[in-house]
Amino acid sequence: MNATDRTPADLLRSALAADPGRPLVTFYDDATGERVELSVATFANWVAKTANLLQGELSAEPGDRLALLLPAHWQTAVWLLACSSTGVTAVVGGDPAEADLVVSGPDTLDAASACSGERVALALRPLGGRFPQPPAGFLDYAVEVPGQGDQFAPFAPVDASDDALVIGDTTLTGAEIVERALADARGLGLGPGDRMLSGLSYGTWDGLSAGLYAPLAGGASVVLCRNLDRLGAEQLEKRVESERVTVRRES
């Protein structure tokens, strides 16, 4: 990171400038066998496209609250950074009825329908695939995002002192996310070249930090594992070795 990085989006920009080709997020779903690896450049491209979707197509503005009903997944990480890029407050597991817009996985569509604003659905299929049948009342993210621009510029500068993330009873500004992420990175011993394996849920700060923010702040990368409990001990150790994991949080 740079001394001027005040928001998670700033951290991503610094990572992109430093080494765009290095891995940033490696995702496994041990229920489906999926593995996806995203370099800093590829991840940043997804973030730019998603931020353009938010700002342009969905007319989201700084201060709007987005109920994020998604599991620990690489596309969830993209949405968190897209919210940071646009000044939208990501409310993890938030009440859709109280949100300005909602982003939902396939298992929470009924709850997400309570949102009176824009609704986006993610199929969470391998390779970012679309729904076989688009859910009524929702935009299919996989259909909408590919045509968005590869570069993003906010209509108004994002203020690092504004609310950026709500997780449980805790509300954090962009600056506070960065501060916490840096402290966690130091506590975990994360630095450039490190690989952090996380099997934690994104439903807590610890999970969000281990699975995204701390590796990003520390110049490291994350091996994000969904349904990790389906792996046996021997399989897990093989993954740790093959992915060159240096730090791990499994539960």
Query: What's the gap between Cα 69 and its chain centre?
Result: 12
CB contact burial 83-115 (16+ within 10 A = b; e otherwise): bbbbbbbbbbbbebeebbbbbbbeebbebbbeb
Taking the C-alpha atoms of residue 249 and residue 30, their distance in angstroms, rounded to an integer, is 16
With 80 as the cut, is the pLDDT of residue 1 above it?
no
The answer to whether residues 202 and 94 touch, using CB atoms and an 8 Å cutoff, is no
Q: Confidence band (pLDDT; 50, 70, 90) for 128?
A: confident
Across all residues in the chain, what is the average pLDDT?
A: 96
> Would you list the domain boundaries of the chain?
8-229
What pLDDT digit, counting tens, does each position of 75-96 carry?
999 999 999 999 999 999 999 9
With 80 as the cut, is the pLDDT of residue 2 above it?
no
Q: Residue 127: what pLDDT?
A: 84
More confident residue, 55 or 1: 55
Q: Confidence band (pLDDT; 50, 70, 90) for 211?
A: very high
What pLDDT digit, counting tens, does each position of 43-54 carry?
999 999 999 999
* CATH code of domain 8-229: 3.40.50.12780
**Average of per-residue pLDDT across 195-217:** 98
Closest by Cα among 106, 36, 115 to 77: 36
pTM above threshold 0.95: yes
